[in-house]
Chain A
Amino acid sequence: MNNSKSIIAVIARKEYRDSIKSKLFLTLVSFLIILIVVSIVVSSFDFKSQVADYKSSVKILEDMGKSSEIPSMPQFFPLKSMRGVIEYIEIIGAIIGIILGYLSISREKGKRTLQLVLSRPVRIADIITGKFIGNSFLVLLVLLAGLFSAFFIIWGIGGLLLNVIEVVKLLLVFIFSYLYIMFFFCLSSMLSLWFKSLSNALIICFIIWLIFVLIIPQIGDTMDPDNQIPGGFFKSMNIDKTREEEIMAKFITYETTRNAIEESSITKHYERLNFAITGIKEKYNGKDLRFIIKDSWKDLVWVFSFLLAAYFIEYAILSNKRLILNGD
């Protein structure tokens, strides 16, 4: 057991060292961090601008002597400004996972080291776990950098210091993002192991990424009747939430199909989970964490199941030693 632990640690350390030196990985990480910063800075400036517009409208109304008509001031919910960050992790975080998985296997295939390792008394589970742990450190490091950037930009530009509950919520986003990225890591290393041509493996992986991250959420979103008019169909018809639900109850088959399409994507589950935690979805804004988890635990189970499935398929592929030994 101790021997197994030390093997895993050696593989994990090697994975970490190799990937952190990769130009490709460093390019993508820098890009993601820049996007996270841009995204929060943009939403912070947007909010500041809205407040400035509000103040000038208030002044005009006061000058006109219409103080009773002054609307309420726009409120800033710091975690809501994380929307862009979550969506960029959905897109680029997944690409980082894919590239890490690809690099992890392409290095071994290029130097034929996997055949060498498999000829030693090393368990397949140790190789997979070692690679998983080594790359987990990298992903956690990247997310930690993003998390700190988000925290300090919200503080510095938004002028708001997050309270303990908000920090806990931010940490949960961090954990879910880790699970999500590691799914794409496992998917990519699994395909890189399976395909003889690494280039084809990478292209197939990007096609799966397209389907999960862009196509399925796009279909679900554009099929939503409320999304057919800018600003929302029901809002344009002056229909409140209760009556909207009554109307949509008559289109239950359509809505069930739309929801089923969305549910087949890990990205949609990741998004729903994080939008609930951060309160981007209005229903959960300012709500207790227990209430949110009670309502969204299914999405967490889905994200976890996707990751586990990819992990075990990768294990099954690597178990087929003949495939690896005959591979290029």
Chain B
Amino acid sequence: MWKKIWSVSRNEFRALFKEKTFILLLIIFILMTIFSTYIGWSTKNTIEKVYQETVIKLKESGISEMPLDTFLITSVLSILKNMIVYIFLIGSLLAIIIGHSSFMRDRIAGISKIVFSRTISRKEFIIGKIIGIFNVLALIISVSFIISYVSIILVTGHPFSGNETIKLLIFYVISLAYLIIFAILGLFFAISSRSESLALVKPIIIWIVISFVLPQLTSALNPNALLNPVSIQEAVPHSRFFAIIQEVIKPFSLSENYKELGSALLGVKPVDTNGIQILINNSAGILLMLASIGFLIYGSIFSMKKFDFCEEEVDE
């Protein structure tokens, strides 16, 4: 069984690797990571200087007690805070495209019609596909991790501590889990939808609900406020109405659990906890992610069993 699954996953990995879109997505991810470090570093430098200028202005006006420079005590990893937003918004959307093209490619080429003339079950086929997608995403995330690690050392000139390395590693593992959810979502709709474009738009609608609508319902933050990792920190209910909604919806909001976990790991808020403790504190969020992955794998296997291999051709 595993030999067949391994064969499908290797084939999937190669197919995705050969596609122009994959190269494009990899480039986007690399650029995202480099931008994230550069913007974080440049902004941190500038805000430090703005703080110094502000202190001078306050001293000139006779104020002697200065507010604390909070930027000095934040973790060096906080330079990467934009990565949280890039992964939960951009990475997840790109993961949908990878999942979508993984099965849609076979449907359009007619491979799904002939592949089962071989001794391979539908379950083995789809598990192989999911492992192939996982390998591709793991490769992208590993490249991103290495770029983040090296670029931070380059811009700050300081090596990481062991605790910070572990936190960065955990952040990327959690991000990989988050991306897999969306990739399998894309795969699920590529199997279950009759039309090619609907198969892409349906998971995008779910992505919008998870990324924008649920956070708006729980915190009244408007969609664009979610693009700023600092605004996300403000996402606390400021009225009874939102406090009630937050209590009910937030435990099921994937994006918010991911953002909280990411912010804690990258030290966006100055807290001194180790990576393992952060994982324990956010265990509910991690369970939600794992449950979503399990549920979607089951859904994909189920819809694969129902899939009609005799379909004439995929509708546009």
The answer to whether A and B interact is yes
Give Cα A219–Cα B36 distance, bound, in whole angstroms: 9
Which residues of A in the span 270-318 have a Cβ within 8 Å of any Cβ on B? 271
A/B pair count, beta carbons within 8 Å: 161
Closest chain A residue to B19 by CB distance? A200
Asked, given contacts A222-B39, A236-B67, whether A251 binds B50 with beta carbons under 8 Å apart, the answer is yes
Task: Name B197's contact: one of A99, A210, A230 (CB within 8 Å).
Answer: A99
Tell me if B281 counts as interface (CB < 8 A to partner A).
Answer: no
Rounded to whole angstroms, the CA-CA distance of A231 and B24 in the bound complex is 37
Instruction: Kindly state whether residue A202 has any CB partner on chain B within 8 Å.
Output: yes
CB pair A202–B230 under 8 Å, yes or no, is: no
Chain B residues within 8 Å of A200, by CB: 20-21
Docked complex Cα distance between A229 and B270 (Å) = 12
- Report the stretch among B40-48, B247-255, B293-301 that lies at the interface: B40-48
Tell which of A20-28, A63-71, A158-166 binds the partner: A20-28
List the 6 shortest-distance A-B pairs measured between CB atoms, nearest first.
A49-B239, A218-B227, A87-B223, A230-B234, A49-B241, A106-B316
Q: Which residues of A contact B (CB under 8 A)?
A: 23-24, 27-28, 31, 35, 38-39, 42-43, 45-46, 48-50, 52-53, 83-84, 87-88, 90-92, 95, 99, 102-103, 106-107, 110, 198-200, 202-203, 206-207, 210, 214-215, 217-219, 221-223, 225, 227-231, 233-234, 236-239, 243, 246-248, 250-251, 254, 271
Chain B interface residues toward A at CB < 8 A: 20-21, 24, 28, 35, 39, 42-43, 46-47, 49-51, 53-54, 57-58, 67, 70-71, 81-82, 85, 89-90, 93, 97, 101, 104, 108, 195-198, 200-202, 204-205, 208, 212-213, 216-217, 220, 222-224, 227-231, 233-234, 238-242, 316
A-B contact pairs, 25 of them (CB 8 A): A24-B201, A27-B202, A27-B205, A39-B216, A84-B222, A87-B222, A106-B197, A199-B104, A199-B108, A199-B196, A202-B200, A203-B21, A206-B97, A207-B24, A221-B228, A222-B228, A222-B229, A225-B50, A227-B231, A230-B234, A233-B51, A239-B57, A243-B57, A247-B54, A250-B53
